[in-house]
Amino acid sequence: MTGSSSVFDRAHRRTTAGLLMLVTFIAFESMAVGTAMPTAVAELDGLAWYAWPFSAFLVASVVGMVVGGGVGDRRGVRVALPWGVGAFAAGLLTAGVAADMAVFVVGRAVQGLGAGVIVVLLYVMAGQAYTPALRPRLFGAISTAWVLPALVGPVVAGLLTTHASWRVVFLGLLPLIVLGLALVLPAVRALPRPEGTGGERAGWWWAVLAGAGIAALQYAGQRRDLVAIAVAAAGIAALVAGLRPLLPAGTVRAARGMPAVVASRGLLAGAFFGMDALLPLTLTEVHGFSATAAGVPLTAGALGWATASQVQGRLPDLPRERLLRIGFVLLAVGLAATSLAALPALGGWPAYLTWAVAGLGMGLGMPSVGVLLLAQSPEHRRGADSAALQIADVTASALCIGAAGVLVAAATAGSLSLSTAVLGSIVVFTVLALAGVGVAGRAAALGGPSAATPTLASS
C-alpha cells in the first residue's frame, strides 16, 4: 500500500466504502432516528418512556466503546468488528420488531453497544490499514459520512415513517449493515493479530458507572425540584468515578500529548453539539420559525463541516495541531456570532451564516484530532485511546446539552427569558471553544510540535 494516493484507490476502495457505510448507518441511528421516534412511541404506548430510547443508546454506547477498545487491543479488529456489527444488527432487529416499549428500549441499548464497539475500531483499523499520508483524507471522508445523516437523514426517516412504517427505519438498515461488513471483512482478515496482550484496560463496569452518571445528569436536567439536586449530585459522583480510569491521566488539565488530544475532542463536541441542540428551539420559540426553516442552519453547519473536512484532507503537510487551532478559532467565531440569532430584533437570519462558520471549524478540528491520536498512540493502545476519545466526545456533549437544558427549563419556569438563557449558553460554549485554542497547541507529541503528516514520497 506504500505510495497509494487515495483512500479510494484499488487497494483501499472496498475497505473505505465499507467503513463509510458503517459510519453513515451509526450516525443515522443516533441522529436521524428522532424523526421516527414520536410515531414509534405512540404506537407502543410508551410516551412516559420517551427519553429512554435516546438515553439507552447513549449509555450503552459508552460501555461499547470500552469493550471495543479492550477487545480490539487484546484480540484484534478481526475478532472485535464482526461482534460489534452483529450487536448493532441485533439491536436493529429487536427495535424493529418490538411489540412493547420495554423491548424497544432494550433494542436501542443493544444498538448503542454495537455502535460504541464499531466507532472505536474504526480508529484502530485506520491506524493499521492506511498509511499516515492517507489518514487525513480518510478522516475527512469519515467526517463527511458522519454529518451526511444530518443533511438527509431526518427527511428519509420522516418519509419512511409516513409512507411505510417507523419499523422500516430500523429493519431497512439490516441488509445494508451486512453489506458494509462484507466490504470491510477482506481487509480486516488481512490485518495482523496483536503481538502483545494490549495495554492496561479499564473494566467495563467503569463505563457502566460513567454512563449511569450521564443518564442521571440528563434526568436531573429535566426536573426542577429538590430531587433533581440529589440526582445531579449522584450523577456527578458516578461520572467522575467512572471517567477517572477511562481517560488518560491529565485529560482534565489538558496535559501535553494524548491527554490534550482527548480533551480537544471533548471541547469540540461539547461546544458545538450543545449549541446545535439549542439552535432550532431558539429559532422556533424566539422568532416563530417553522420546523423546516429552523433546521436549515443545521444543514448549513453540516455542509460547512463536510466542506472543511475535505479541505483538510488535501493539506497533508500541515501540522494537525495548527489545523486544530484554526478549527477552534472558527468554532468560537461561529458560536459568538450565533448570539445574534438570539436577539428578537434581528429575526434569526444570522444563524444561516454563522452556523456554517461553526461547521467549518468542526470540519477542520475533528479529523485533525483523529490524526493526532493515531500519530501518538502505540499500536497496543489504539483501542483504549480511541475509546477515550469517543467517551470524551459523548460525555462533553451530554454535559453541555444538559447545561443548556437547565437554562431553558429556568426560562420555561419564568425565571429568565429564553433569549437570556440562549445567550448564557452561548457564552459558556464560546469560552470552551476559546479554551480549545490554547489546548490545541498542547496536542502535539511530547517531544515538541508534531511534524507535518508524512508525504506520500516519504511514506
Confidence of residue 447 (pLDDT cuts 50, 70, 90): low
The x, y and z cell numbers of residue 323, run together, are 489545523
- Over residues 399-434, the pLDDT tens digits come to 887 778 778 777 777 777 888 888 999 999 999 999
Q: Once rounded to an integer, what is the mean pLDDT over residues 156-180?
A: 85
Helices (H) and strands (E) in the chain, counts: 16, 0
- Over residues 86-103, the pLDDT tens digits come to 999 999 999 999 999 899
361 within 8 A of 381, measured Cβ to Cβ: no
Q: Once rounded to an integer, what is the mean pLDDT over residues 345-363?
A: 91
What whole-number distance in Å separates Cα of residue 316 and Cα of residue 392?
Answer: 26
Q: Which residue's entry shows cell 453497544?
A: 113
Non-local CB neighbours of 226 within 8 Å, separated by 6+ positions: none
User: What are the angstrom distances between the C-alpha of 232 and each of 180, 218, 380, 411, 432?
Assistant: 40, 8, 36, 19, 22
Mark out the alpha helices in 314-417 (DSSP H runs).
Answer: 320-338, 351-376, 382-412
If one counts every other C-beta atom within 10 angstroms of the C-beta of residue 38, the result is 13
Q: Which position has the higher pLDDT, 309 or 51?
A: 309
The x, y and z cell numbers of residue 449, run together, are 510540535
At 100, the amino acid letter reads D
73 within 8 A of 201, measured Cβ to Cβ: yes
User: Three-state DSSP class for 451?
Assistant: coil
pLDDT of residue 407: 80
- Total-model pTM: 0.76
Confidence of residue 455 (pLDDT cuts 50, 70, 90): very low
pLDDT of residue 221: 67
Query: In the chain, pLDDT over 90 holds for what percent of residues?
Result: 24
Q: Is the pLDDT of residue 218 over 90?
A: no
Q: Is the pLDDT of residue 453 over 90?
A: no
Rounded to 5°, the CA angle 101-106-111 comes to 125
The x, y and z cell numbers of residue 6, run together, are 487515495
In sequence order, what DSSP letters do the residues of 241-267 get, joined into one string? HHHTTTS-TTTTTT-TTHHHHHHHHHH
Q: Is the pLDDT of residue 149 over 80?
A: no
415 φ, ψ (degrees, to nearest 5): -70, -30
Q: What is the end-to-end Cα distance of the chain in Å, rounded?
A: 10
If one counts every other C-beta atom within 10 angstroms of the C-beta of residue 422, the result is 26
- Over residues 186-214, the pLDDT tens digits come to 877 777 776 655 544 556 788 888 888 87
pLDDT of residue 2: 41
Confidence of residue 329 (pLDDT cuts 50, 70, 90): very high
214 within 8 A of 235, measured Cβ to Cβ: yes
pLDDT of residue 397: 83
pLDDT of residue 354: 95
Q: What is the mean pLDDT of the chain?
A: 82
Q: Once rounded to an integer, what is the mean pLDDT over residues 323-335?
A: 97
pLDDT of residue 190: 76
The x, y and z cell numbers of residue 286, run together, are 424566539
93 within 8 A of 148, measured Cβ to Cβ: no
pLDDT of residue 153: 72
Q: Once rounded to an integer, what is the mean pLDDT over residues 110-118?
A: 91
351 φ, ψ (degrees, to nearest 5): -60, -25
- Over residues 340-351, the pLDDT tens digits come to 988 888 888 888
Confidence of residue 135 (pLDDT cuts 50, 70, 90): confident
Q: Which position has the higher pLDDT, 31 or 360?
A: 360
If one counts every other C-beta atom within 10 angstroms of the C-beta of residue 133, the result is 20
Confidence of residue 454 (pLDDT cuts 50, 70, 90): very low
Confidence of residue 362 (pLDDT cuts 50, 70, 90): very high
pLDDT of residue 1: 41
The alpha carbon of residue 456 and the mean position of all alpha carbons in its chain are separated, in whole angstroms, by 30
Confidence of residue 291 (pLDDT cuts 50, 70, 90): low
